[in-house]
Structure 1
Amino acid sequence: MKSILSLLLLFFCGITYSQTTISGVVTDENSQPIPGANVIIVGTSTGTSTDFDGNFTLNVSQVPPFTLQASNIGFSTETQEVTANNQTINFILKEGTSLDEVVISASRTPERIFESPVTVERFGLKEIKNTASADFYGGLENLKGVDINTNSLTFNSINTRGFATFANTRFMQLVDGMDNSTPALNFPIGNLVGMIETDVQSVELLPGAASALYGANAFNGILFMRSKNPFDVQGISGYYKQGITSQDAAGDNTYRDLGLRIAHKFSDKFAAKVNFGWLKGTDWVANNYQGKPGTGDTRASLNYDGYNIYGDEVATNIKAASGGLGIIPDVVVSRTGYEESALTDYNAESVKADWGLYYRPWANDFEIAYVGKVGTGSTIYQGSNRYHIDGFFQQQHKIEFRNNNFFLRGYVVADKAGDSYDMTVTGIQINRAWKSDQQWFQEYIGTFAAATLGGATEDQAHAAARAQAESGRFEPGSPQFNAALQKSINDPELTTGSKFQDESKYYHVDGNYNFSHLWDVVEVQVGGSFREYNLNSSGTIYTDYDGTIPYSEYGIYTQLQKQFELNEGLELKLTGSARYDKSEFFDGFVSPRISAGLTVNRNHNIRASVQTGFRNPTTQDLFIGLDAGPYVLIGGAPSNLDRYSRDYAVSAAGQISGQPATINQTGSAAYNNSYSRNSVEAFAASGNPADLTISNPDLVKPEQVTSFEVGYRGKLNKVTVDLSVYYNKYQDFISNEYVIAPLYGTVGDNTSITAVVNGDYQVYQTYTNSDADVNSYGGSIGVGVKVFNGFDLDGSYTYAKEDFDSATNPDFRTNFNTPEHKVKVSFGHTEVVKNLGFNLAWKWSDAYYWEASFGDGDIPSYHTLDAQLNYTIPKIKSTFKIGASNALGEEYYTAIGTGSIGSIYYASWTINNL
Structure 2
Amino acid sequence: MIKKLILLAFIAFSSVAMVGQTTVTGTVTDAKTGETIPGANIKISRKALGTTTDFDGKFVLDVSDNPPFTLEISVLGFHVEKVEITKNNQKVMVSLVENETSLDEIVVSASRTPERVMESPVTIERMDSRAIKNTSAPSFYDGLENLKGVDVNTNSLTFKSVNTRGFATFSNTRFMQLVDGMDNSSPALNFALGNLLGMSELDVNTVELLPGASSALYGANAFNGIMFMTSKNPFDDQGISVSLKGGITSQEAAGDNEFYDFNIRMAHAFSDKFAAKATLSYLKGEEWHATDYRNTKDGVYVSGDRDSDRNYDGLNVYGDEVSTNLRGVAQTLEGLGILPAGASALLPDESVSRTGYNESDLMSYEAKSVKFGGSLNYRPWGNDRLEIIWNTKFGIGNTIYQGTNRYNIKDFFMEQHKLELKGKNFFVRGYVTNEDAGNSYDSRFAAININRYWKDDNTWFGQYTGAFVQGTLGGLNAEEAHAVARQTAEAGRLLPGTAGFKAAFDQVTADPSLVTGAKFQDNTKYYHADGNLNLQDYIDWAEFQVGGSYRLYSLNSSGSIFTDYDGPIKYNEYGVYTQVQKKFLEEDRLKVTASIRYDKAQNFEGNFSPRISFAYAGGENKNQNFRASFQTGFRNPSTQDQYIGLNAGRAYLVGSAPDNLDRYSTQSLIVSGTGQNFTGSGTTTVSGRSAYENAFSAISVQNFAAGKIAAPIAAEVALVKPERVTAFEVGYRGIVNTGDTKRITVDLSVYYNQYEDFIANKNVVVPFYGDVAFTQTAPVGPGGSLVPLSLVALGSGDFVAFQTYTNSAADINSYGATIGLNTKVFDDFNLGLNYTYAKFDFDQSSDPDFEAGFNTPEHKVKLQFGKTDLFKNFGFNINARWQDEYRWESTFLDATIASRTVLDAQINYSVPTWKSVFKLGGANLTGKEYLSAPGVGAIGSQYYLSWTINN
Q: Same fold (TM over 0.5)?
A: yes
| Match in the other structure for 2:356 | 337
| Match in the other structure for 1:108 | 112
Please report how far the alpha carbon of residue 656 of structure 1 lies from its aligned counterpart in structure 2 after TM superposition: 6.0
What per-residue deviation string (whole Å, max 9, x for no partner) do you get for residues 439-472 of structure 1? 1222222222333333333323322222222222
Q: Report if the CA contact (8 A) 1:562-1:574 is conserved.
A: yes
Q: Report if the CA contact (8 A) 1:323-1:652 is conserved.
A: no
What amino acid is aligned across from residue 923 of structure 2 in structure 1? S
Counterparts of 2:34 and 2:263, CA distance in 1: 30
Please report how far the alpha carbon of residue 80 of structure 1 lies from its aligned counterpart in structure 2 after TM superposition: 3.1
| Match in the other structure for 2:325 | 317
1:670 aligns with 2:691: yes
Please report how far the alpha carbon of residue 348 of structure 1 lies from its aligned counterpart in structure 2 after TM superposition: 0.2
Farther off after superposition, 278-287 or 650-659: 650-659
Q: Report if the CA contact (8 A) 1:598-1:606 is conserved.
A: yes
| Match in the other structure for 1:80 | 83
Query: What is the DSSP-based 3-state SS (H/G/I as helix, E as strand, rest coil) of the residue aligned with 1:637?
Result: coil
Please report how far the alpha carbon of residue 119 of structure 1 lies from its aligned counterpart in structure 2 after TM superposition: 0.3
Q: What is the total number of aligned residue pairs between the two structures?
A: 894
Please report how far the alpha carbon of residue 514 of structure 1 lies from its aligned counterpart in structure 2 after TM superposition: 0.6
Query: What is the DSSP-based 3-state SS (H/G/I as helix, E as strand, rest coil) of the residue aligned with 1:268?
Result: coil
| Match in the other structure for 2:506 | 486
Counterparts of 2:60 and 2:611, CA distance in 1: 44
What amino acid is aligned across from residue 24 of structure 2 in structure 1? I
The structure-2 alpha-carbon separation of the partners of 1:743 and 1:34, relative to structure 1 and needing over 3 Å to count, comes to: farther
Please report how far the alpha carbon of residue 438 of structure 1 lies from its aligned counterpart in structure 2 after TM superposition: 1.3
| Match in the other structure for 1:571 | 589
1:90 aligns with 2:97: no
Please report how far the alpha carbon of residue 216 of structure 1 lies from its aligned counterpart in structure 2 after TM superposition: 0.3
Counterparts of 2:441 and 2:356, CA distance in 1: 17
Counterparts of 1:760 and 1:769, CA distance in 2: 28
Residue in structure 1 matching 2:705, options 684, 689, 709: 684
Counterparts of 1:637 and 1:35, CA distance in 2: 59
Please report how far the alpha carbon of residue 33 of structure 1 lies from its aligned counterpart in structure 2 after TM superposition: 5.2
Q: Report if the CA contact (8 A) 2:579-2:593 is conserved.
A: yes
What is the percent sequence identity of the aligned residues? 57
Q: Report if the CA contact (8 A) 2:42-2:53 is conserved.
A: no
Query: What is the DSSP-based 3-state SS (H/G/I as helix, E as strand, rest coil) of the residue aligned with 1:797?
Result: strand
Counterparts of 2:303 and 2:502, CA distance in 1: 29
Q: Report if the CA contact (8 A) 2:654-2:802 is conserved.
A: yes
What per-residue deviation string (whole Å, max 9, x for no partner) do you get for residues 143-192 of structure 1? 00000000000000001001121000011100111111111211100000
What per-residue deviation string (whole Å, max 9, x for no partner) do you get for residues 74-96 of structure 1? 22233333232232223222322
Residue in structure 2 matching 1:307, options 315, 328, 331: 315
| Match in the other structure for 1:766 | 804
Q: Report if the CA contact (8 A) 1:700-1:768 is conserved.
A: yes
What amino acid is aligned across from residue 387 of structure 1 in structure 2? Y
1:725 aligns with 2:750: yes
Please report how far the alpha carbon of residue 613 of structure 1 lies from its aligned counterpart in structure 2 after TM superposition: 1.0
Residue in structure 1 matching 2:365, options 346, 350, 353: 346
Q: Report if the CA contact (8 A) 1:73-1:102 is conserved.
A: no
* Alignment of structure 1 residues 151-170 onto 2, 5 Å: 151-170=155-174
Q: Report if the CA contact (8 A) 1:322-1:652 is conserved.
A: no
Q: Report if the CA contact (8 A) 1:99-1:114 is conserved.
A: yes
What amino acid is aligned across from residue 90 of structure 1 in structure 2? M
What amino acid is aligned across from residue 337 of structure 1 in structure 2? G
What per-residue deviation string (whole Å, max 9, x for no partner) do you get for residues 355-382 of structure 1? 1100011101111010100000001110
Residue in structure 2 matching 1:277, options 281, 290, 314: 281
Query: What is the DSSP-based 3-state SS (H/G/I as helix, E as strand, rest coil) of the residue aligned with 2:844?
Result: coil
What amino acid is aligned across from residue 351 of structure 2 in structure 1? V
1:381 aligns with 2:377: no
Q: Which runs of 5+ in 1 are unaligned?
A: 1-15
| Match in the other structure for 2:883 | 845
Q: Report if the CA contact (8 A) 2:49-2:272 is conserved.
A: no
| Match in the other structure for 2:566 | 546
What amino acid is aligned across from residue 881 of structure 1 in structure 2? K
Q: Report if the CA contact (8 A) 1:673-1:696 is conserved.
A: no
Query: What is the DSSP-based 3-state SS (H/G/I as helix, E as strand, rest coil) of the residue aligned with 2:154?
Result: strand
Please report how far the alpha carbon of residue 500 of structure 1 lies from its aligned counterpart in structure 2 after TM superposition: 1.4
Residue in structure 2 matching 1:250, options 250, 254, 259: 254
* Alignment of structure 1 residues 351-750 onto 2, 5 Å: 351-365=370-384, 366-564=386-584, 566-567=585-586, 571-601=589-619, 602-645=622-665, 646-651=667-672, 653=674, 658-686=679-707, 688-690=709-711, 692-717=712-737, 718-749=743-774, 750=788
Please report how far the alpha carbon of residue 732 of structure 1 lies from its aligned counterpart in structure 2 after TM superposition: 0.3
Q: Report if the CA contact (8 A) 2:206-2:230 is conserved.
A: yes
Q: Report if the CA contact (8 A) 1:36-1:233 is conserved.
A: no
| Match in the other structure for 2:217 | 213
What per-residue deviation string (whole Å, max 9, x for no partner) do you get for residues 737-770 of structure 1? 1111112221243211122122221111111100
Please provide the CA RMSD for this pair.
Answer: 1.9
What amino acid is aligned across from residue 773 of structure 1 in structure 2? D
Please report how far the alpha carbon of residue 71 of structure 1 lies from its aligned counterpart in structure 2 after TM superposition: 3.0
Farther off after superposition, 716-725 or 293-302: 293-302
Q: Report if the CA contact (8 A) 1:52-1:877 is conserved.
A: no
What amino acid is aligned across from residue 681 of structure 1 in structure 2? Q
The structure-2 alpha-carbon separation of the partners of 1:57 and 1:396, relative to structure 1 and needing over 3 Å to count, comes to: farther
Farther off after superposition, 417-426 or 626-635: 626-635
The structure-2 alpha-carbon separation of the partners of 1:628 and 1:595, relative to structure 1 and needing over 3 Å to count, comes to: same
Counterparts of 2:437 and 2:198, CA distance in 1: 17
Counterparts of 2:710 and 2:476, CA distance in 1: 35
Please report how far the alpha carbon of residue 659 of structure 1 lies from its aligned counterpart in structure 2 after TM superposition: 2.9
Counterparts of 2:327 and 2:24, CA distance in 1: 89
Please report how far the alpha carbon of residue 844 of structure 1 lies from its aligned counterpart in structure 2 after TM superposition: 0.6
Q: Report if the CA contact (8 A) 2:81-2:96 is conserved.
A: yes
Counterparts of 2:843 and 2:68, CA distance in 1: 69
Counterparts of 2:647 and 2:23, CA distance in 1: 68
What amino acid is aligned across from residue 305 of structure 2 in structure 1? T
What amino acid is aligned across from residue 422 of structure 1 in structure 2? D
Q: Report if the CA contact (8 A) 1:321-1:651 is conserved.
A: no
The structure-2 alpha-carbon separation of the partners of 1:313 and 1:103, relative to structure 1 and needing over 3 Å to count, comes to: same
Please report how far the alpha carbon of residue 716 of structure 1 lies from its aligned counterpart in structure 2 after TM superposition: 0.5
Counterparts of 1:345 and 1:846, CA distance in 2: 32
Query: What is the DSSP-based 3-state SS (H/G/I as helix, E as strand, rest coil) of the residue aligned with 1:193?
Result: coil
Farther off after superposition, 427-436 or 639-648: 639-648
What amino acid is aligned across from residue 80 of structure 1 in structure 2? V
Q: Under a length normalisation based on structure 1, what TM-score does the superposition of the two structures give? A: 0.95
What per-residue deviation string (whole Å, max 9, x for no partner) do you get for residues 547-588 of structure 1? 100110000111100112x236x7000000111101011111
| Match in the other structure for 1:297 | 304
What amino acid is aligned across from residue 878 of structure 1 in structure 2? S
Query: What is the DSSP-based 3-state SS (H/G/I as helix, E as strand, rest coil) of the residue aligned with 1:378?
Result: strand
Query: What is the DSSP-based 3-state SS (H/G/I as helix, E as strand, rest coil) of the residue aligned with 1:813?
Result: coil
What amino acid is aligned across from residue 686 of structure 1 in structure 2? G
What amino acid is aligned across from residue 26 of structure 1 in structure 2? V
What per-residue deviation string (whole Å, max 9, x for no partner) do you get for residues 509-533 of structure 1? 1010111123321000111110000
What amino acid is aligned across from residue 371 of structure 2 in structure 1? K
What amino acid is aligned across from residue 763 of structure 2 in structure 1? Y
Q: Report if the CA contact (8 A) 2:178-2:229 is conserved.
A: yes
Q: Report if the CA contact (8 A) 2:41-2:53 is conserved.
A: no
Q: Which runs of 5+ in 2 are unaligned?
A: 1-17, 333-343, 738-742, 775-787
Q: Report if the CA contact (8 A) 1:616-1:701 is conserved.
A: yes
Please report how far the alpha carbon of residue 683 of structure 1 lies from its aligned counterpart in structure 2 after TM superposition: 1.5
Counterparts of 1:487 and 1:46, CA distance in 2: 55
Counterparts of 1:457 and 1:153, CA distance in 2: 48
